[in-house]
Amino acid sequence: MPTTCGFPNCKFRSRYRGLEDNRHFYRIPKRPQVLRQRWLSAIGRTEETVVSQLRICSAHFEGGEKREGDIPVPDPTVDVQIKIELPPKESKNNDRRRKQTIPARFPCDSPAG
């Protein structure tokens, strides 16, 4: 099934190859919430109107590539790329390690020997 860019007035579809076949599609970020809200605002959507299959093509990012904190714009060659400062990522591994407990060794009832 072809993917269509969800940016307003962008007609790019993944099915049609040609000069634009180097484009990639990006999902709307789920976290952090501030980045998600900025993306939705940029494409004129709300939480109620966004669908899980919605993708934005790489033509809406400077250099054709999305970087951390980038907000899509209609035309990066004309419009200034919007970027926001993201809060530090929470490490999932550190939280898991803290929650895991190391089993205690029980002393042996009989003397070793």
> What average pLDDT values come out for the chain (113 residues) when binned by 10 residues?
85 69 86 91 91 90 89 81 72 60 60 58
Strands (E), the chain: 25-27, 55-57, 70-71, 82-83
Structure tokens at 28: 């709307």
> What pLDDT score was predicted for residue 37?
93
- How confident is the model at residue 24, as a pLDDT? 87
pLDDT score for 13: 84
Write down the pLDDT at residue 106.
61
Strands 25-27, 82-83: pairing is unpaired
Cα dihedral angle (34, 11, 54, 20), rounded to 10 degrees?
-90
Give the chain's length: 113
Instruction: Report how far residue 7's alpha carbon sits from residue 97's, in angstroms, rounded to the nearest whole number.
Output: 41
Q: According to the model, what pLDDT value does residue 16 have? A: 61
Spatial distance between the Cα atoms of 39 and 8, rounded to a whole number of angstroms: 12
